Amino acid sequence: MSSGEFTEEKRRHIRFPVQFRSTFSSVNVVGGEGEGTLGDLSVRGCRVESRAVVKTGTALQLKLFLPDETADLATVAAVRWVRGTAFGVEFVDMTDEDWKRLSWFIKRLEAPESA
């Protein structure tokens, strides 16, 4: 396994397939900011597909645009791995209100309402 890869065995939280928009910024991102699409999500992190060039270890100001939400969810996230146009982040700092919103969103993914 190469340095920086985050394997399935290291994950402690279930990841849910999602697809919605995100934006991010950092002094360490080429161009300073980027936009991406989330491909999966957990309570501790997510995978982002983006054309922006990021490096492992970079701290990002990340905004998630959750479906059916009027306000974005903001967090500081650390880039844990990069592979091609995808990178994985761990959420490291988020307001209590945004943690609650994220947890509520994840619970909806865990137990979707019956049709």
Each domain of the chain, given as residue ranges in start order, spans: 14-110
d(CA 105, CA 110): 9
Q: 14-110 is classed in which CATH architecture?
A: Beta Barrel (2.40)
More confident residue, 2 or 16: 16
pTM: 0.81
pLDDT tens-place string over residues 61-106: 999 999 888 889 999 999 999 999 999 999 999 999 999 999 999 9
Reply yes or no on whether the pLDDT at 36 is more than 90.
yes
pLDDT at residue number 13? 66
Q: How far apart are the first and last CA of the chain?
A: 43
CA distances in angstroms from 48 to 45, 57, 74, 96, 110, listed in the order given: 10, 15, 15, 23, 20
Sign of dihedral through CA atoms 15, 94, 80, 27?
A: positive
pLDDT computed for residue 16 by the predictor = 87
Say if residues 67 and 77 touch (Cβ distance below 8 Å).
no
Of the candidate ranges 21-30, 39-48, 70-79, the one whose mean pLDDT is the lowest: 21-30
